[in-house]
Amino acid sequence: MLEFAKKNAAEAGIDNVTFSATSIESFEAPDGSFDAVLMLSLLHLLENPGAALDKARRLLKPGGLLITSTACLRDNMRWFGMIAPVGVAMGLIPKVQMISEDELRGEIADRGFACLEEFSQGDNRTYFQIARKLV
Q: By C-alpha distance, which of 60, 41, 70 is closest to 112?
A: 60
Q: Could you tell me the pLDDT band of residue 88, with boundaries at 50, 70 and 90? A: low
Residue 110 has pLDDT above 80, yes or no: yes
Q: Which helix (H) or strand (E) holds 65?
A: strand 60-71
Give how far Cα 62 sits from Cα of 32, 38, 40, 97, 118, Å: 7, 16, 21, 29, 20
Give the integer Cα–Cα distance in Å for 105 and 29.
Answer: 26
Residue 80 has pLDDT above 70, yes or no: no
CATH number of 2-133, picked from 3.40.50.150, 3.60.10.10, 3.40.50.10490, 3.40.50.720: 3.40.50.150
Give the integer Cα–Cα distance in Å for 97 and 74.
Answer: 9
Phi, psi of 17 (to 5 degrees): -140, 145
Section 96-117 average pLDDT: 92
The whole model's pTM is what? Answer: 0.78
Q: Bin 108: left if φ > 0, else alpha if -120 < ψ < 50, else beta.
A: alpha
- Looking at the DSSP assignment, which residues form a beta bridge with residue 131? 66, 115
Percentage of the chain beyond pLDDT 90 is: 56
Section 2-13 average pLDDT: 94
Percentage of the chain beyond pLDDT 70 is: 87
**Whether 41 contacts 58, CB under 8 Å:** no
Give how far Cα 27 sits from Cα of 4, 39, 64, 94, Å: 21, 13, 18, 21
